[in-house]
Chain A
Amino acid sequence: MEGEKNKEENPLKVNRRHFFSQLSVGIGSLALGSLLIPDLFKNQSLSTTGITELGIPHFAPKAKRIIYLFQAGAPSQLETFDHKPTLRKRMGEDLPESIRNGQRLTGMTSGQDKFPLMPPAIGFQQHGKSGQWISDYFPHIAKIADEICIVKSLHTEAINHDPAITFFQTGSQISGRPSMGSWMSYGLGNENKNLPSFVVLTSRGKGNSQGLYSKLWSSGFLDSKHQGVLLRSGKDPVLYLNDPDGITRSEKRHLLDKVSSLNKMHQVETGDDEIESRIAQYEMAYRMQMSVPDVMDISKEPEDIIKLYGEDCQVPGTYAANALQARRLAENGVRFIQLYHQGWDQHGNLPNEMAGQAKDVDKASAALVLDLKQRGMLEDTLVIWGGEFGRTNYCQGKFDPSNYGRDHHPRAFSIWMAGGGVKPGISYGETDEFGYNIIKDPVHINDFHATLMHAMGLDHEQLTYKYQGRRFRLTDVAGTVINDLLT
């Protein structure tokens, strides 16, 4: 009673008895509230909204699959899609320091005392109704100028191949994170359960090459079933997929059933989820024994298709063959098809090597877009062509306009995309007159990833995986969807 009276006079004058009894009401209310959170004391994700259910897009997608024509080694933007007449006018002049502005260089040119501006050894023309500038190295891609969206303002932080390509693939310069194909597989699942959802095809040009490692298509900390599967050229596209001589398919079935029951016992014992995916992969491999040879067999492709991609496409292991293969895989419901073509690292002898590389990829890349289009697949297949960074506008090594090299350049480079909800026939972003810095609409690699995921119906902020105590995303803690690229 005394307390009540005190309290009436001054609510902050509380004696111990009142303090405790009020505290119990307070804590009791909290406890009551906590009853409304179903999984509060369970060790699992707090998300109960179901927004991030795996295997289903977060919203209706524009693209169902991606064919990524990765040009490993970094093709020069100045000899492909970024037309800079100023370089010719000021040929041989030193790159102004106000433009370079402290950009760190690789060890290959940091020792040079001069950075003479070097114009491309090839002409540029405008093509199509859209009037996009495309260099004469690519007469076939020029034919599809109105189908493609050229992004001239990509930029990255890495200045060397391995970190740069790892960044492109995984969203981090340090290896170990899942590849973007693995993220798509994780977020969207398989369309065709008889083929992996992430497939890799490699080819190599005659130009200066940099290594490719399986870490680039690794699933990192994601379930190993999301790993990219490398399809080799030749008789055995997937190693050890074929049954040994004398083993019939039904014997194989018996074997698998037995192995799987043993594996299940082991899983009950250890509770390791990886065993589950191991079982699933054995099963998929069994089905792939039937489906892969079918997909890889191009003998039934009509002659005009062969002509379109170029005769090379009949030679297994070439870029053209891989491009045709990519279309067949896309038709068969593979979500993410990644081609790598090596040989774009032109530190020297650029004009010649570039021509050779272009010869490898130009016709087949354009053919792929046309072929997808006639099948009505271009509207839900996103094709991307590009490397891991750009190249310097100044000459590396001896100054010789007919035989020069270019060093790595992270601040601006060009790629193109087609189909899959990307605006056709536009150029996005701009570089300065030297092609060195971006002056309009920069696209960071994180933004690029966010945009790809958006096209595929995934919210890059929602698709996460909890590992080592925190939730990881392909875009980590950055990335904005570039809506202006999307239809």
Chain B
Amino acid sequence: MPKDSYSSWFNYWVLGLSVFLIFCFVFEDYIQLPLLLSWVGKWHPLVLHFPIVLLLGLAVLNLLKKEIPPILFKVTIFLTLVTAISGFFLATSASDKGDLLSRHQWLGTILALLSVIWHTFKAEVRAKKFLANSIPLLIILLVLGTGHYGGMVTHGEDFLALPKKEGYENIPENPLVYQDIVRRILNQHCISCHNSNKKKGGLLMTSLKELEAGGDGGPAIIPFNNQESEMIRRLKLPKEDEEHMPPEGKKTPSSLEIDILEEWVALGASDTLRFYDLKETEPLALLIHELMTPAAVAKWVDLNVVADTTISRLNTDYLTINRISNLSNALVVNAYLPPHYKANQILKLHPIIENIIELDLSGLPLGEAEIGMVAQGKNIERLELDGTPLTDNQLDTLTVLGELRLLKVYNTKLGDKSLTLFEKFKNLKQLYLWNTEISAKGLENLSKKSSSLRIDQGIEEPYITFFSTTDTLDLSNKE
């Protein structure tokens, strides 16, 4: 009797946990865990090692036709279920569920349920020779698969790969297009099969010469000629095509990377070309710029947390504060001129000033105090001060803004004294500067001196002339 009641209790537990597991699997998206259960989830990385060892052990015992002690079997099943369920608890805390995690969950769930079925029908399984062999084998495969995906989730996708790989970090300020950009793209996607050890299709891709020499299919690149460059042609084939490169199963380059390769070949596949040699409007320049700009959101993860209540408290009819995107602590602030302006409208931004990324104060009669506070916004990347009474001295206090990339100061009273100040902004890339009191000569000098700073000086004269003298063709009056 005691044995039976213990056994039936165990069966109830297994049934209950299995149903619960299936429930978690189906309704995962809707589950919100109490704190205690989230904590249980944190044990997943610890307990998972037991079922791995135990399941593999049982499977091997079974394959060797050895008797499995019932208690060991029971403990294994129980721990497997607990592991799977705790895994779901852990997964609910993941902010963004990727493919890897889904696959891990699928495999884990199937594994747990399969082992429950194995245990429940162990007599039948033992009786049938085919099942007796295939189920343990399947279990072994599932353990390996689940474990591998789990490993990829925690340790990164390439945790088993040989240590190497170059990303796009640490690209120099003015990179050599071939050496610092193209090379890295090829290293990531092509070199593993086209190096001196492997040389697939007779093609080597470790140097520019080898690319031009090509392989069995002809030259990989022909400068200025994308149509006949084998590499570009194959990159652009549909994925299903036999000749598409990289072949099926290998990671394909992003469309950005492909575009860069294409534009680089179109411009002559030079190895001496530098980023700054390109015109800003050149597609290749834009593409490289994009590659070099770190994913915007990642940049702002270190910002202090701002509560929704703070944001809504500070919002007024004439001051709009918003998150740059959902769940981000980076803020965008737009101020508008109320009927009666008071400095306090702006000064009250002080508590969140370090979270502001974009600040638009254009057209406001700003005073010394407001500018002083803006100068504390060390994360501001975009600042619009056009149409304000900004003075040269005030601009000087703003030069501490090290993250500032874009500054709009058109329609202001800035004078020649400000010319030297723009160079003090460490990261300033774009400046809108027209209708000021700066002399034409000063402006010319400034734009000559600073190569990395793009200065917009209003609509260029030829346009103004053309637009004010030329009328659109008028045939309607011809009759």
Q: Which residues of A contact B (CB under 8 A)?
A: 1, 4, 7-11, 21-22, 25-26, 28-30, 32-34, 36-38, 40, 46, 48-51, 53, 55-61, 129, 136-140, 143, 146, 189-194, 206, 287, 290-291, 302, 304, 307-308, 310, 331-333, 351-353, 355-356, 358-359, 362-363, 366-367, 370-371, 373-376, 423-426, 457, 483-484, 487
Chain B CB within 10 A, most for which of A11, A53, A424: A11
Supposing A61-B325, A194-B317 touch, asked if A358 and B473 sit within 8 A by C-beta, the answer is yes
Whether the Cβ atoms of B472 and A137 lie closer than 8 Å is yes
B-side interface residues toward A, CB under 8 Å? 1, 4, 7-8, 11-12, 15-17, 19-20, 23-24, 27, 29-34, 37, 120-121, 123-124, 255, 281, 283, 286, 290, 296-297, 317-318, 320, 322-328, 334, 336, 339, 362, 384, 386, 406, 408, 410, 430, 432, 434-435, 456, 458-459, 463-464, 466-468, 470-476, 478-479
Q: What are 11 A-to-B residue pairs whose CB atoms are below 8 Å? A: A4-B7, A22-B11, A29-B17, A29-B20, A33-B20, A38-B32, A40-B30, A290-B339, A351-B475, A352-B479, A423-B283
Known interface pairs A22-B12, A38-B32, A191-B320; A139-B281 also in contact (CB < 8 Å): no
Interface centre among A22, A53, A56, A190 (most CB of B within 10 A): A56
Q: B281's contact among A129, A302, A356, A359, by CB below 8 Å, is which? A: A129
> Nearest Cβ in chain A — how far from B340, in angstroms?
11
Q: Which 6 A-B pairs have the closest CB atoms?
A: A355-B475, A33-B23, A356-B476, A307-B468, A29-B19, A29-B20
Given known pairs A33-B27, A352-B475, the reply for A484 and B255 (CB within 8 Å) is: yes
Q: Do B325 and A304 touch across chains, with their CB atoms under 8 A apart?
A: no
Option from A129, A308, A359, A375 in Cβ contact (under 8 Å) with B410: A375
Cα–Cα, bound, A148→B197 (Å): 48
Main secondary structure of the interface of B (DSSP, over half): mixed
Contact: B327 with A193, CB < 8 Å? Answer: no
Q: Are A50 and B326 in contact (CB under 8 A)?
A: yes
> Are the C-beta atoms of B476 and A362 separated by less than 8 Å?
no
Residues of chain A lying within 8 A (CB to CB) of residue B336: 192, 194, 291, 332-333
B475 and A56 form a contact (CB under 8 A): no
Residue contact B31 to A37, C-beta cutoff 8 Å? yes
Bound Cα distance from A331 to B124, whole angstroms: 76
The answer to whether A374 and B459 have CB atoms under 8 Å apart is yes
Residues of A within 8 A of B255 (CB): 483-484
CA distance A146 to B336 in the complex (A): 33
Q: Are B472 and A358 in contact (CB under 8 A)?
A: yes
Given contacts A26-B15, A59-B326, A483-B255, contact A355 B476 (CB under 8 A): yes
Q: How far is the CA of A40 from the CA of B32 in the complex (A)?
A: 11
CA distance A483 to B256 in the complex (A): 10
Also in contact, A46 and B30, with CB within 8 A (given A30-B19, A140-B467, A304-B464) = yes
Q: How many whole Å from B447's CB to the nearest CB in chain A?
A: 15
A476 shortest CB reach to chain B, Å: 23
Given known A-B contacts A36-B33, A50-B327, A191-B320, A22 and B15 have beta carbons under 8 A apart: yes
Asked whether, in the complex, the Cβ of A26 is within 8 Å of the Cβ of B16, the reply is: yes
Taking CB atoms, residues of chain A closer than 8 Å to B475 are: 351-352, 355-356
A273 to chain B, nearest CB (A): 19
Contact B317 A193 (CB under 8 A): yes
The reply to whether B470 and A139 form a contact with Cβ atoms under 8 Å apart is yes
Which residues of A lie under 8 Å from residue B20 when comparing CB positions? 29-30, 32-33
| Residues of A contacting B432 in the complex (Cβ-Cβ under 8 angstroms) | 374-376
With A56-B323, A60-B328, A457-B325 as known contacts, state yes or no: A424 contacts B473, CB within 8 Å. Answer: no
Q: Are B406 and A4 in contact (CB under 8 A)?
A: no
Q: Which residues of A contact B435 (CB under 8 A)?
A: 302
Q: What CA separation (Å) do A1 and B4 show in the bound complex?
A: 7
Q: How far is the CA of A60 from the CA of B328 in the complex (A)?
A: 9
**Which residue of chain A has its CB nearest to the CB of B363?**
A331
What is the distance, in angstroms, from B417's C-beta to the closest C-beta of chain A?
23
Across-interface contacts of B24 in A (CB, < 8 A): 33
Complex Cα spacing A189 to B311, Å: 14
| B459 contact set on A, CB distance < 8 A | 304, 308, 370-371, 373-374
CA distance A287 to B334 in the complex (A): 17
**Contact (A56, B326) CB under 8 Å given A36-B31, A137-B472:** yes
Give CA–CA (A198, B4) in the complex, Å.
73
Interface contact A4-B120, CB-CB below 8 Å: no
Residue pair B325, A356 in contact (C-beta under 8 Å): no
* Pair A37/B30 contact, Cβ less than 8 Å: yes
**Chain B hits for A287, CB < 8 A:** 317
B125 to chain A, nearest CB (A): 11
Knowing A29-B19, A359-B471, A424-B281 are in contact, say whether A193-B320 is a contact too (CB < 8 A): yes
A57 partner residues in chain B, CB cutoff 8 A:
324-326
Chain A residues near B468 (CB-CB < 8 A): 304, 307-308
Q: B406, A192: Cβ atoms under 8 Å? A: no
